[in-house]
Amino acid sequence: MFDEIPTSRPDTPLLDRIEDPAALRDLKEKELDTLADELRAYLLYTVGQSGGHFGAGLGVVELTVALHYVYQTPEDRLVWDVGHQTYPHKILTGRRERMGSIRQHGGLSGFPKRSESDFDTFGVGHSSTSLSAAQGMALASALNGDDRKCAAIIGDGAMTAGMAFEALNHIAHTDTDMLVILNDNNMSISPNVGGLATYLSKVWGSKFYNSLREGSKQVLTKIPSAWEFARRTEEHFKGFMSPGTLFEEMGFNYVGPIDGHDIGNLVSYLRNLREVKGPKLLHVITRKGKGFGPAEDDPVGYHALNKLEPKLAPRKKPSGPKYQQVFGDWLCDIAERDERVIGITPAMCEGSGMVGFAQRFPERFYDVAIAEQHAVTLAAGLACEGLKPVVAIYSTFLQRAYDQLIHDVALQQLDVTFAIDRAGLVGEDGPTHGGTFDLTYLRCIPNMVIAAPSDENECRQLLYTAWQHAGPAAVRYPRGSGPGTTIEPVMSALPLGQGRECRQGKNVVILNFGASLPAAMEAAERLDASVCDMRFVKPLDTELVERMAAQHELLVTLEENVIAGGAGAAVSEYLALKGVRSMWLPLGFRDEFVDHDTPRQQLAGQGLDAEGIEEAIRQRLGTSGK
């Protein structure tokens, strides 16, 4: 057990011999516990050097070792759900010495990535996709006449998503030969591990039981009534003694729950189940943060870790509160004055800044787990009854509920406010979490109001403006801290669809949408350009756009969103329809997925820092020195 992150590389003689899982499979089974201990120590050390998500990884060390020991990877397919689990997997699959580069420029991804390794069978940054992907691989294997095995590892949180249950249903329907491993780190279930439950799990996972089960099936299926009686008897007995009734009813051979940290038992169960045909589900109980005391005590707080800095290094203080805090404070303030306010989040209570609201207004707070579609339609139903739901959701998570956004909210013009967090680039979490498309996919939806605040106070006031609007409205804001603008405690609704002039200059005007305003102002000072903070993407301040186009030689649109179909496109479309001729320079994200890096470097790489904005304008004007 570790109480602190190791600051020097631990001694790992056994782990150092493992360059790939083939070397792991050369070990004696009695050596696996030692390997797991070394792997856990090395994981803690490397995350301390680079930062990253490590709580989930610590919890699956033994499971990861056992899977690569039993399965012939990469020929056999292991599909991980929620990429945070895969740090031990990366260490064992030839990337040990590169772990210090994880989530850094040019380094390893923090998630499985197909282009990074043959052992990463499916890319995943969010959750609940493993079952569908693994089923596709298993069905393809059967169609191609291959004998490879497929296993999906999914957490209990990821299992809450509707997509996971859709996959479970289809796996059973097609009788797909694959293993589902339910990695359960919910402590409320852990008392079931032990005593009779453990004994019965050993029975249900044994070769003898499964061969007897299959043999009986072949005999009794010829007598339908007898087979149905035997099947029901087995299911009811398992249901009485274990939580597996649901999976058995769906058509899975359920085994568990078992201790996910007992590596010997894991190897035994996996060996047996690897030979069993059809849909199988192994239920393992693990402890998130296993082996690191602080993470075991506070798995939420230690979900991820920042890079350990030298003790004497001065810390750079953020210039303002995080936008998530601005949102959380606003939500509590508005809930104080209006009992109709309901807060909804799909498993992002901490990340979205809703902890305070959940504590103060528990009867008006709903964390629906990883179920984005349900979150949006739940809000629609609440709005139908006159309540005022606010959905706090990451930009990339809202993509997963796009149909519900259109059909269940916008089409019916329901009064739902969307607080869209993580808009724009998000740094080390990379393209799977970058909110680079929301202005585009929201702008084409009728009845939507879309606001993009440029600072903390504007975020607060635009949230209030959106909430006051009697219809669907979205406020999108970035991850992290703002520029440090003083936040006015009084909430005032801003004029809908009206921007503001921030700086008057000559020849060039920058129409800024969102958090890029400080960079726009810095570039404008050097260019003596005008700057407008547009505030709204929809409705667009068309009067301001026309006036700026008439007064300036070059009109520049700036947004932290893809250029295709975004805020700049809205400006261009409007001017084209009005027949206004204007030289236009759209600045935003290029037509590519932006790889992980620091947020600052990501913006610079896209030419959206002050220097990049200035240079792009000079090039368009033909005055660039480059």
Residues with a catalytic annotation lie at 288, 372, 400
DSSP letter assigned to residue 107: S
* List of long-range contacts for 106-115, beta carbons under 8 Å, 24+ apart: 107/50, 107/596, 109/83, 109/430, 109/596, 110/52, 110/53, 110/83, 110/84, 110/428, 110/429, 110/430, 110/596, 111/83, 111/84, 111/86, 111/430, 111/432, 112/80, 112/83, 112/86
| 212 and 172 Cβ atoms separated by less than 8 Å | no
3-class SS letters over 10-22:
CCCCCHHHCCCHH
Supply the angle between the helices 61-70 and 32-50 in degrees, to the nearest 10.
120
For the chain, how many helices (H) and strands (E)?
Answer: 25, 19
CA distances to 15, 25, 209, 240, 254 from 201, rounded to whole Å, are 31, 25, 11, 13, 9
Contact by Cβ (8 Å): 393, 372? yes
Q: Which residues pair with 52 in a beta bridge?
A: 305
SS3 4: coil
Instruction: Calculate the alpha carbon distances from 592 to 80, 120, 247, 362, 371 in Å.
Output: 25, 22, 41, 41, 28
Contact (Cβ atoms closer than 8 angstroms) between residue 478 and residue 450: no
Distance CA(502)–CA(531), nearest Å, equals 5
Nearest to 25 by CA among 75, 59, 60: 75
| Residue 268 structure tokens | 């035994």
Contact 563, 393 (CB under 8 A): no
Helix (H) or strand (E) holding 454: none
Which two structure tokens, joined as six digits, stand for 299?
């798995």
Contact 50, 307 (CB under 8 A): yes
Sheet of 583-589, strand order:
500-503, 530-533, 508-513, 554-562, 583-589
Kindly give, in sequence order, each residue whose CB lies less than 8 Å from that of residue 433, ignoring residues fewer than 6 positions away. 125, 126, 394, 396, 422, 426
**Phi, psi torsion values for 65, nearest 5 degrees:** -60, -45
61 to 34, 58, 321: CA distances (angstroms): 11, 6, 36
Give me Rg for the CA atoms of the chain: 27
**What phi and psi values does residue 153 have, to the nearest 5 degrees?**
-110, 115
Per the DSSP assignment, residues forming a β-bridge with 178 are 279
Q: How many CB atoms lie within 10 A of CB 321?
A: 18
Count of other CB atoms within 10 angstroms of residue 528: 12
User: 37 CB contacts (<8 Å, ≥6 apart)?
Assistant: none
